[in-house]
Amino acid sequence: MSENSTNVTGTVMTTNGPTNVSPNPAPSLTQAVNAAVGKSLPKPRGLETKNTKDLSLEYFHGLIYAETSAWKTTTAAHFGKPEDVRIILTRSEEQLKPIKDEGYQYTPIMKAADPAAAFLFAWQYPEQLWPDWAQRPNRTLVIDDLTKGIQILLDADDSKDIRKSYGNVADSVSPVFNTSLAKPQNLVLIALAKVKENPITDVERVGPDLPPSMLNSVFLPDLEFVFYIDPQTHKMRTDRDFITAKKIDEKGREVTYRREIFAKNKIELTGAGRGVIRPLEDPNLGVLWERVKAAGRLGAIK
């Protein structure tokens, strides 16, 4: 033992014998000032404390993305029954041909006098368009699609600086998106896929076709699920994956490259790694979501 050391009971052992030390040392000057200031300030309205055991995870908040003709619209619409689902359509009405005979209600944004204003209004206040639907317990809102919706907003912004336009659009979309998350509804966003190539590392990265700044700061942090639909198998990839593939380069040579596909899912810890969500899933979001909710109610997967 050194000349001065502390044993597990909080007693300092010195060459002159034991000396008792308080287990709760006096606060530093910074701590004292902070505590005094905190007591003098009014608590912000709405600030509260909660327990994670009281979390209500009854609603799906997710994004599905893929190339064209990969069943994105059909997959999103079939999350629920036609009477429970409403679609905000940002592209032409021909986009809905696959579900033409199923009776889904939608609003065609591009037919509005001001598509940008119509898009934000419909997304934030869908109850104004469909009052009866707003009372349904399984109401589901589908944005088909977000890639086009963001482009509509960018085209409507009159800023001469493109960077300012992106900032303006992010500022207008963020509160609308957050409001839709707070409502008692399922939210399914649809986006196109974008492939980014890195010729130095021979890695292709596949992700949603959205401005990176908005994707990373507005959407991804608050979406529990991002699924990629494979255009050939129509299976949904539910977690990040790496694929090794071959292609012919500009000189006619066969080269090997890696493709990184972005996807993610966030479920309760008791269900993680126990097959609640498989790496590849059939394109049936509603069935998958019921499985996730059932796992959460059980508390564990047997």
* One-letter-per-residue 3-state SS of 248-288: ECCCCCEEEEEEEECCEECCCHHHCCCCCCCCEECCCHHHH
CB atoms within 10 A of CB 166: 19
The token pair at 239 is 């977690």
pLDDT digits (tens, 9 = 90+) for 5-54: 444 444 445 555 555 555 667 778 887 778 787 778 887 887 777 666 66
Helix (H) or strand (E) holding 287: helix 285-298
Q: Is the dihedral of CA 248, 253, 254, 255 positive or negative?
A: negative
Rounded mean pLDDT, 83-102: 95
Rounded mean pLDDT, 165-173: 94
Q: Which residues contact 135 (CB under 8 A, 6 or more apart)?
A: none
Indicate if the pLDDT at residue 219 is higher than 60: yes
Q: Which residues contact 279 (CB under 8 A, 6 or more apart)?
A: 237, 238, 239, 241
Lowest mean pLDDT of 32-36, 119-123, 209-213, name the range. 32-36
Structure letter (DSSP) for residue 123 = H
Domains of the chain, first to last: 61-297 (3.40.50)
Distances (CA, A) of 263 to 197, 217, 230: 18, 16, 12
Rounded mean pLDDT, 265-279: 71
Three-state DSSP class for residue 26: coil
Rounded mean pLDDT, 214-224: 93
What CA–CA distance (Å, rounded) separates 28 from 178?
A: 40
Burial class (CB in 10 A: 0-12, 13-18, 19+), 172: middle
Indicate if the pLDDT at residue 126 is higher than 70: yes
pTM to 2 decimal places: 0.80
